[in-house]
Amino acid sequence: MIGKKYSNQKEISYYMCDRTQTLTLPMLVNLLLEVSGEQSESLGLGDTVMQEKGYSWILLQYEFFIDRLPKNKETVEIETFATEYNKLFCYRDFIVKDLEGNELVTVHSTFALFDFAKRKMARLPEEIVDPYEAVFNKRVKRTAKPAPVNEETAEQQPFNVRYFDIDTNQHVNNSKYLDWALTPLGGAFLSSHQMTYANIKFDKEVHEGQQVQSIYSQIAEDAAVTTAHKISTESNTHCTASFKWKKISE
Amino acid sequence: MIGKKYSNQKEISYYMCDRTQTLTLPMLVNLLLEVSGEQSESLGLGDTVMQEKGYSWILLQYEFFIDRLPKNKETVEIETFATEYNKLFCYRDFIVKDLEGNELVTVHSTFALFDFAKRKMARLPEEIVDPYEAVFNKRVKRTAKPAPVNEETAEQQPFNVRYFDIDTNQHVNNSKYLDWALTPLGGAFLSSHQMTYANIKFDKEVHEGQQVQSIYSQIAEDAAVTTAHKISTESNTHCTASFKWKKISE
């Protein structure tokens, strides 16, 4: 049983792509949240309504299974639906398809609701979950954790949180954590490897003016490579992630 | 006399906007070039064809006259047309309108053609300019220069050129220079001021792995403020820009 489906087509533009003419993961994240935002609007639960109710959604985790990422100028269909929810968490899937219906990317995500007045996570109210037609299941899902960074071999690069990293929600845009995580891998690696899996877990948010360290280590396993990442400040880990890669054949 | 017009509608998404729910200038630049790219495609002169001919367009200067920048979720009409050309330069305007036809932003831009084989600017061939129906005028236009930085009061901030700054054209995306120029102004200034004018001149391009300094100074004149900027490395100035601002009334 899954919830009400919503889908929309998006055209991939040059500014969303890297030098390999491929949609970047940070931009894919922006497009996914654009489509789930459209579903919320269509159900009368858009950002403005949610703000009036005193809530905002927080993204806790993403897991991506990637056959291939869309290419520059390609039009894709992005489908999304809530799957189930419990007292505190709700789960939403995204499926990115090409126009022939082939599934390119499948995404599982976990969201929670933040209560502004109480400054903490809210118990999910029926009026907010019912319109999505997700199923209540009291069991909290066990989601795979990102592979841990090997501190002995880890390398790191600092990033300053910039004005333009903060979006309309007044928070650092989720895609920026991915940008910080992936950038230290460098051009030679990123343009010769294709991502096949990504697991990103968001912990404490960072704020404008802070400096974060993007720390990563790499494990090669036969033809595949896994990279493990964390975004940290002195006192906190803000995001952990791991990616699986295969070499792009020449 | 102006050239063949092309226009398309674009919806402004949350990830294109800043915390004031307003389209950012870097994202506006991406949308403008997306629309002029669409015109080129429609005339059979898209990126792939141009590459086969051994050419690519380079953007030399932009001048923006801004009544207001579009808002989150607004749909705008972006119109573009080549105006005139001479031996080396061609001039293109963009007009951003709301759906009632009000002109929000007018943009003048200057482009040149780069010849890959000769590694220099090309004399504009008829087969490449004719389809745009621009008028030949042998006089090179005198375009306003950005206001110069006051070196005595200037402040600066370093930026590293990142993997994701480079787009499908294998060059640093033009919008990134604007991001570097504007970021040092900081959140308090940027969220309390509205840009009314921008003049951006591109000189030598920067490459992945380089570190640039974003240098700026500020001149207050009555209610208005002008900021002057340059993006430099040790040996070169890569971009100069100036912006005019008015305070957003509370």
pLDDT digits (tens, 9 = 90+) for B114-168: 998 998 999 999 999 999 999 999 999 999 999 999 999 999 999 999 999 998 8
Name the residue among B19, B167, B179 with its Cβ closest to that of A15.
Answer: B167
Are both B59 and B99 inside the same structural domain? yes
pLDDT (0 to 100) of residue A107: 98
Q: Cβ separation of B13 and A21 shorter than 8 Å? A: no
Find, in chain B, the residue whose alpha carbon is nearest to that of A13.
B34
The CATH number given to whatever domain includes residue B233 is 3.10.129.10
Are both A86 and A202 inside the same structural domain? no
Cβ-contact B185, B24 below 8 angstroms: no
Q: Are strands A193-202 and A55-66 parallel, antiparallel or unpaired?
A: antiparallel
Name every chain A residue with its beta carbon within 8 A of the beta carbon of B188.
none
Are both A129 and A164 inside the same structural domain? no
Q: Cβ separation of A17 and B173 shorter than 8 Å? A: no
- The percent of residues in chain B predicted with pLDDT above 90, rounded, is 89
Q: Cβ separation of B163 and A26 shorter than 8 Å? A: no
pLDDT digits (tens, 9 = 90+) for B163-186: 999 988 888 999 999 999 999 999
Name every chain B residue with its beta carbon within 8 A of the beta carbon of A37.
14
Mutation target vs B (from A13, A20, A59, A243; most B CBs, 10 A cutoff): A13
Are both A50 and A132 inside the same structural domain? yes
Q: Is residue B141 part of a domain?
A: no
Q: Is residue B234 part of a domain?
A: yes
Are both B10 and B118 inside the same structural domain? yes
> Going residue by residue through chain B (250 aa), what tens digit of pLDDT does each one get?
688 999 999 999 999 999 999 999 999 999 999 999 999 999 999 989 999 999 999 999 999 999 999 999 999 999 999 999 999 999 999 999 999 999 999 999 999 999 989 989 999 999 999 999 999 999 999 999 999 999 999 999 999 999 999 988 888 999 999 999 999 999 999 999 999 999 999 999 999 889 999 999 998 777 789 999 999 999 999 999 999 999 987 6
Q: Is residue B60 part of a domain?
A: yes
- The pLDDT mean for chain A works out to 94
Q: Among A57, A230, A208, which residue's Cα sits nearest to residue B18?
A: A208
This complex has an ipTM of 0.91
Cβ-contact A63, A107 below 8 angstroms: yes
**What is the domain range of residue B121?**
6-136
Task: Give CA–CA dist B118/B54, Å, rounded.
Answer: 9
Are both B67 and B188 inside the same structural domain? no
From B107, B136, B165, the end of a domain falls on B136
3-state secondary structure of B96: strand
Are both B185 and B108 inside the same structural domain? no
Q: Taking chain A, what is the end-to-end CA distance rounded to the nearest angstrom?
A: 42
Q: Is residue B182 part of a domain?
A: yes
Q: Among A66, A62, A58, which residue's Cα sits nearest to residue A193?
A: A66
- H or E stretch at A233: none
Q: How many domains does chain A have?
A: 2
Task: Give CA–CA dist B48/B35, Å, rounded.
Answer: 16
Name every chain A residue with its beta carbon within 8 A of the beta carbon of B168.
14, 17-19, 21, 72
From B78, B105, B136, the end of a domain falls on B136
